[in-house]
Structures are given as structure tokens and as C-alpha cells.
Amino acid sequence: MASVVLVLTSLEDVTADRVIEALSERGAAVVRVDPADVGPDLVFGFRLGQRRGSIWGGPLRTASRVVDVEAVTAVYCRRPTPYTARFRELPRQSREFAVAEARHGLGGVLHGLRGALYVNHPSAVARADFKPAQLQRFAALGLRIPATLVTNDVEEARKFAAEHERVVYKSFRGLPAGEDGHAGAIWAQRVEPAALDDSVVVTAHLFQAEIPKTGDARVTVVGRRVFAQRITAPDGALDWRRGDWSRLVHTPLVVPESVRTALHGYLASFGLVFGCFDFALTGDGTAPEDWWAIECNPNGQWGWLPDAQAIAEAFAAILTGEDI
């Protein structure tokens, strides 16, 4: 039975398109599936036991392809559509039931294919998706991190602000979708101590001492391969993501060996194969002490980077077993 790479993502995903193209150039058999298509456009019949033994097998059929899941040797879990979108027209109770059944049934099989390499496995992404855990792991691996406070106590926030020359607020997550269906973001921003009031108690907040940075770094790690770019915003913005991305200046960057080692250790500790790391840089970035770890997105974007093609080829290499 020929091996297959299964790509789990939505229909419109240009980042996944890059990886699929790189896989096709290697002659790999690729099947692209959006699990939220469950219904007439996505049907399956998975079996376990008796002749199948302890390995799930059986057909997974899309409108154009069919694959026996037993043949899947690697799974690229990119950004599938949430099941809630598939069942949004149903009454609430029926919708919640259908979503749970699809997630635990179809998702349960697709996330449990024995022997398959997952990049990354959804459960590993979930474990690694909490910023407090990320920062703690960075520190344990010897990376420098900004002084950090997680609190809903205004007095603790004021005390922290008094201890540091400048303090930055960051949200833990982006804004959820609004009534128009569009999600949003809250950019990193400086905090004026006088603006801290009793509204802090409503929920958790992340405050950090601001690093006097000379630039930022986005480091994309795929298996043992490391791709790094210095990012400079022409206007010197605190958070480069909030401006015009077409004006950002990208410069290839060499990651110090001790930092590279820490990044590989970080991914291994969470059971990840891939991650997008963000750093604040001080000095010229050549010394390990110039690198301040900010966060790691275990399913981050990289398609916009100048070295995106090389990154796509690294994904294809690892998904086909060429670079494990």
C-alpha cells in the first residue's frame, strides 16, 4: 500500500498550498481534507479489530479523492475549518451534539493514526499554546525572558509598573470573532501606571518589562532545520504586526548555537515538530544574551517570510521521511 501524506486544512490556505506543491515535486501522494466538510462531500468508513487488528483502516472520501487511512504515514495539521461552521444552521443542542460527535469520531480517528508523523499533533499544540507555560519553559532552557507578571490584582500591577522603567501589556489570545464573523487582535502596547484601575480585576492580564530592543526576530524551526529573519519596522513600532507588513525590512539572521539548542529542546519537550518563535533582539543579535524569548506559536504563519519556499521544502522533507 503506497504511503500518503494527509493535509488537514481549509480550502483557502496558501501556506498549505506551498507545502503541497513541495510534496508533489517530490512525487509524494497527497490528500487534502477539511474535516469540517463532513457530510456528502466527506464520507468515511473506518474499521478496527478482527482483520484490521489494532490499526484503524478504511476509506476517507472527498469529492475528488479517496484514501485508506491505513496508508497515511504523515499528517500535516494546518488550519482546518472549525466543525462549528459546518453545523451553524442547526438548533443549539443539535449543533453542539453534531460538533462533539464529529470531533470525537472523525477527529478521534484522524488524530490517532498509529505510526503516522504529525506536524504538529493537535494535542501537542494544545499543550504548548499557553504563554505562561511557554515562558516557564524558555527560562528553564536558559533563554532570557522579560520580567513577567500574570495578574488580575491592580495593586500587583501597580507594584510591577513601579519596579520597571517601562511596562508592556499583551493579550494571551487574539480577539474572538465578532458579530460580523471577523476575528481581531490586540497588539502589544505600553502601559501608563496611572491608567491601571479596578477594571484589572475582571480577568487575567499579562504585563512584561519592556526590552530596549534593536529589532525583532522570527525563527521558524521545522525538525532540525532553523530559519531566522530579523524584522525591523521602519517606524520603530513596539509591535511590528500592527503596521504595514509590506514596509517591514527582513534580514537573514544567524541564530547563536546555544539558542538553537534551546529551541530544539523546547519543541521536543512539548512533542512538537515545528514552531514559530518570536524574539526581541538587543545589540546586534550575534550574542546569545541579545536574544529575549517572547513566545512560540506551535501552528504559526510563515508563508509571508522571504525564505518561505525553503521552509515549505523543509516541511515536505520531514513529511516524506527524508529529514526526521
Q: How far apart (Å, rounded) are the C-alpha atoms in residues 268 and 271?
A: 5
Which pLDDT does position 103 carry in this prediction? 97
CB 3 within 8 A of CB 295: no
Predicted confidence (pLDDT) per residue in 67-101, tens digit: 999 999 999 999 999 999 999 999 999 999 999 99
pLDDT tens for 243-299 read 777 888 999 999 999 999 999 999 999 999 999 999 999 988 899 999 999 999 999
Report yes or no: 153 and 207 within 8 Å, Cβ to Cβ: no
Q: Give φ, ψ of 23 to 5 degrees.
A: -65, -45
- List, in order, residues 6 or more apart from 69 with CB less than 8 Å away: 6, 44, 46, 56, 57, 58, 59, 60, 109, 110, 113
Its pTM stands at 0.93
- Name the percent of the chain lying above pLDDT 90: 83
Q: Which three cell numbers stand for residue 313?
A: 521544502
Domains of the chain, start order = 4-119 (3.40.50), 147-209 (no CATH), 212-317 (3.30.470.20)
H or E stretch including 281? strand 274-281
Would you state the pLDDT for residue 245? 75
Nearest Cα to 254, choosing from 217, 223, 283, 294? 217
What is the mean predicted confidence (pLDDT) over 47-62? 85
pLDDT digits 0-9 by tens, 113-163: 999 999 999 999 999 999 999 999 999 999 999 999 999 999 999 999 999
- Rounded to the nearest integer, the mean pLDDT of the chain is 93
Measure Cα distances from 35 to 44, 67, 82, 118 in Å. 11, 14, 8, 16
C-alpha 267/C-alpha 120 separation (Å) is 10
For the record, the C-alpha cell of 83 comes out as: 466543525
- What integer pLDDT is reported at residue 239 of this predicted model? 84
What tens digit of pLDDT does each residue of 13-39 get? 999 999 999 999 999 999 999 999 999
User: 289: exposed, middle or buried (C-beta count within 10 Å: 0-12, 13-18, 19+)?
Assistant: exposed
